[in-house]
Amino acid sequence: MKIGVLALQGDFEAHERRLAELGAQPVAVRYARQLDAIDGLILPGGESTANLLLLKGEGLWEPLRRFAAEKPVLGTCAGAILLAREVAGPSQRSLGAMDFAIERNAYGRQIDSSIRRVEPERAFTERTRPGALEAVLIRAPIVRSVGPQVEVLIRDGKDPIMLEQGPRLAATFHAELTDDTRVHELFLAKVGRR
């Protein structure tokens, strides 16, 4: 399986390593034409505003919007912000590939980074493995509302931190920074089923 990782900005290399570890072939995506040759795409964490500017500058915005509307995509943190229907804090453009609203940098300054131990929902553990998960939140956003077609796979308290809609997954935490491989395994399983 060839899995693209958007490699304009942010921590794309950690995703590439994780994919290689799991036996997939990572492709660093920087040009629109590369989207034709991949089975799924990861939008990494980083800075969503910087990614927006680079995406537009590289002519990737429209091809990426079309890709994310149809094909398997996993967005983590800034990547999840790009996938949302609506972004606040402040408001900015997004791909609208998943029906949720998200607020950037929503944990506030003091605790803007933390590691939280969470118990994933059964919809996640049944398809991967049971057990708690460590969610690395770095200047993370908070999901404020989800539409009817979105399933919540992981919550931190009442806040959804991992979501699924059709072939798409979004996580507000950095699943590529711990040694828990379940998020990427679930994504690869979804890509493989198509």
Task: Give the residue numbers marked as catalytic.
Answer: 77, 174, 176
Query: What number of CA atoms fall less than 13 Å from residue 159's CA on the CB side?
Result: 19
Residue of 7, 52, 68, 81 interacting with ligand GLN (CB under 6 A) = 81
* Local structure of residue 94 (DSSP, 8 states): -
Binding mask 108-147 for ligand GLN (x = CB under 6 A): ------------------------------xx--------
Separation of alpha carbons 109 and 102, rounded Å: 17
One symbol per residue from 6 to 45: x for binding ligand GLN (CB under 6 A), - otherwise; what is it? ---------------------------------------x
* Smallest distance, ligand GLN to C-beta of residue 159, A: 15
Site map for ligand GLN, 89-108, x if CB under 6 A?
---------------xx---
Q: How many CB atoms lie within 10 A of CB 182?
A: 19
Helix and strand totals (H; E) in the chain: 6, 12
Question: Binding ligand GLN by CB under 6 A: which of 26, 46, 120, 160?
Answer: 46
Q: Helical H runs in 4-157?
A: 12-21, 48-57, 61-70, 78-83, 122-125
Measured from the CB of residue 138, what is the shortest distance to ligand GLN in angstroms?
4
The total number of residues written for the chain in this structure: 194
